[in-house]
């Protein structure tokens, strides 16, 4: 078991500068670190030695020992010690929980998944299952709670800056976020956030919104949810409610916060059982208990007329949703994200055709995410990585006689 992280004493700013450089670089020499940070040679060497002693950096064999002959004094080479601690990202969804343990380079070490009893799990049982998934993933990675440098958990509920969700008329939000900020209080650099917000983090970090400062990520499976980024800032609101879609209950042509996947499945089921129409196509051939959005969209992509009609109808709804989001937040781009994104191209193509042309503001660009069903947990790991970079030296301390990291 690893030695505990302890609050660190005040430190020179050079330590933060060198650690930030190391985190964004692979192997590097002291001279390269000095050039990148603008520090003097002596300050750079002192900081590198201090970070190596703490266990955050690893000194590598010099160029001559590594077989790269160079004249003169061999350069000292370093790299981030990516196994010094771990990051944990969790997608605690309505139906499924996914927990990922990653190293400090955000490379996955272990993943564990669990299924929840939909709408019948009391808050305490949900919290216990989430904790069990995290602990299982840590064990699978050969690590434990003491190794966690940062953790982020996404939930299908608004979350305020303190990690808590407001009361919901049916208790849904409280059940989705059963005071996880308390249940996970052992974790350092803990962040509880809305799942669509973390999808936006993922898209902005390595997805369809990289380099974009104004975008909306639309989670569009069973229920609609949006992560909103304006001027490069992820918006939250007082109660964490930015991006909640209940307002679409009152928007003509949308009518509810039901997601695109839910609409596809519901309209396909209705079409397959419509005795007033000759249902002889692919929809009629699929048993009712197997008819889901994925199968319908696969049929649409294959050219099935009934499925294409449903994709067109859902595209009209998506166009209305995008036009409202465009008017509210003025984004450059709207990214359709989540599990449904894998087969939603026909729906998005229809939405592009039906985007209004008479809006006061230009319509946003509409694109499909390539991150798939794990977009929320991907965003959670990315958020944990950002927290680790910012806070590593605030919680890291050398234990007398040895580093505060695994051997």
pLDDT at 34: 94
**Which pLDDT does position 401 carry in this prediction?**
36
The reply to whether 171 and 121 lie within a common domain is: yes
The answer to whether residue 124 sits within a structural domain is: yes
DSSP letter string, 68-120? ---SSSPPPEEEE-TTSSEEEEEEE-SSEEEEEEE-TT--EEEEEEEE--TTT
CB 225 within 8 A of CB 194: yes
- 117 vs 193 pLDDT, higher one: 193
Q: Which CA distances in Å does 289 have to 74, 160, 265, 292, 305?
A: 68, 38, 11, 8, 21
Q: Is residue 5 part of a domain?
A: no
- In a shared domain, residues 221 and 134: no
Q: What is the CATH number of the domain that holds 24?
A: 1.10.10.10
Name the band, by pLDDT with cuts 50, 70 and 90, for residue 221: confident
d(CA 19, CA 126): 37
Same domain, 20 and 104: no
User: Could you give the CA distance from residue 254 to residue 220 in angstroms, rounded to a whole number?
Assistant: 13
For the chain, give the number of residues.
Answer: 407
pLDDT at position 403 over 50:
no
Residue 342 has pLDDT above 90, yes or no: no
Candidates 354, 360, 358; CA nearest to 317 is 354
Enumerate the H helices of 232-344 as residue ranges: 260-272, 282-285, 293-301, 305-329
Residue 159 lies in a domain: yes
Q: Are residues 234 and 310 in the same domain?
A: yes
Residues 381 and 356 in one domain: no
| Torsion (CA) 202, 242, 119, 180 in degrees, nearest 10 | 70
- How many C-alpha atoms does 85 have within 13 Å on its Cβ side? 32
Domain boundary among 65, 81, 97: 81
Write out pLDDT tens, residues 387-401. 999 888 887 753 333
Q: Report in angstroms the alpha-carbon separations of 179 from 11, 163, 167, 184.
A: 34, 8, 12, 9
Name the residue range of residue 331's domain: 215-370
* Residues 6 or more apart whose Cβ sits within 8 Å of residue 358: none
Q: Residue 4 — very low, low, confident or very high, per pLDDT cuts 50/70/90?
A: low
Q: Which of 81, 106, 135 is the last residue of a domain?
A: 81
Shared domain for 107 and 203, answered yes or no, is yes
Q: Report how far residue 174's alpha carbon sits from residue 192's, in angstroms, rounded to the nearest whole number.
A: 13
- Are the C-beta atoms of residues 149 and 188 closer than 8 Å to each other? yes
In a domain, 400, yes or no: no
The answer as to whether 327 is a domain residue is yes
Say whether both 380 and 346 belong to one domain.
no
Q: Is the pLDDT of residue 340 over 90?
A: no
Q: Tens digit of pLDDT for each residue in 111-141?
A: 999 998 777 778 999 999 999 999 999 999 9
Greatest distance between any 2 Cα atoms in the chain? 87
Whether the per-residue pLDDT at 332 is higher than 90: the answer is: yes
Tell me, what DSSP letter sits at residue 221?
S
Q: Are residues 76 and 154 in the same domain?
A: no
Q: Could you tell me if 224 and 352 lie in one domain?
A: yes
Same domain, 245 and 283: yes
Residue 384 pLDDT level (bands cut at 50, 70, 90): very high
pTM of the model as a whole: 0.89
pLDDT at 16: 92
Question: Domain end: 81, 97, 126, which one?
Answer: 81
Same domain, 359 and 221: yes
Average pLDDT over residues 333-350: 91
In this structure, is residue 130 part of a structural domain? yes
For the domain that residue 117 is a member of, what is the CATH number?
3.30.420.40
Domains held by the chain: number: 3
pLDDT, the chain, mean: 88
How do residues 268-294 score in pLDDT, each as one tens digit?
A: 888 877 665 545 577 777 887 778 888
pLDDT above 50: residue 1 = no
């Amino acid at each position: 078991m690893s030695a505990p992280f302890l609050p660190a004493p005040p430190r020179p700013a050079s330590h933060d500068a060198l650690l930030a450089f190391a985190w964004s670089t692979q192997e590097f020499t002291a001279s390269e670190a000095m050039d990148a940070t603008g520090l003097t040679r002596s300050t750079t060497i002192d900081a590198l030695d201090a970070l190596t002693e703490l266990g955050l950096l690893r000194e590598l064999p010099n160029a001559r020992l590594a077989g790269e002959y160079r004249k003169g004094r061999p350069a000292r080479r370093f790299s981030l010690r990516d196994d010094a601690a771990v990051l944990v990202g969790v997608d605690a969804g309505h139906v499924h929980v996914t927990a990922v343990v990653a190293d400090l380079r955000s490379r996955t070490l272990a993943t564990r998944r669990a299924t929840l009893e939909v709408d019948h799990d009391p808050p305490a049982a949900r919290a216990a299952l989430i904790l069990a998934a995290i602990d299982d993933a840590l064990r699978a990675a050969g690590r434990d709670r003491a190794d966690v440098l940062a953790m982020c958990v996404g939930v299908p509920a608004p979350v305020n800056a303190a990690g808590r969700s407001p009361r919901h008329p049916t208790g849904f939000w409280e059940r989705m976020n059963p005071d996880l900020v308390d249940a996970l209080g052992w974790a350092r650099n803990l962040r509880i956030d809305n799942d669509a917000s973390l999808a936006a983090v993922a898209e902005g970090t390595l997805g369809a919104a990289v380099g974009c400062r104004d975008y909306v990520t639309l989670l569009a499976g069973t229920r609609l949810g949006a992560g909103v980024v304006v001027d490069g800032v992820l918006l939250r609101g007082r109660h964490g409610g930015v991006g909640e879609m209940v307002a679409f209950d009152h928007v003509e042509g949308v009518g509810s916060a039901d997601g695109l996947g839910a609409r596809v499945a519901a309209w396909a089921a209705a079409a397959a059982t419509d005795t007033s129409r000759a249902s002889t196509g692919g929809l009629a051939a699929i048993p009712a208990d197997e008819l889901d959005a994925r199968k319908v969209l696969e049929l649409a992509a294959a050219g099935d007329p009934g499925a294409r009609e449903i994709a067109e109808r859902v595209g009209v709804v998506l166009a209305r949703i995008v036009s409202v989001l465009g008017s509210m937040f003025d984004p450059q781009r709207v990214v359709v994200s989540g599990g449904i994104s894998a087969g939603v191209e026909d729906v998005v193509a229809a939405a592009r055709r039906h985007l209004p042309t008479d809006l006061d503001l230009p319509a946003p660009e509409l694109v499909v995410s390539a991150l798939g069903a794990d977009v929320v947990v991907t965003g959670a790991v990315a958020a944990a990585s950002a927290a680790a970079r910012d806070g590593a030296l605030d919680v890291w301390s050398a234990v007398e006689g040895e580093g505060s990291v695994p051997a």
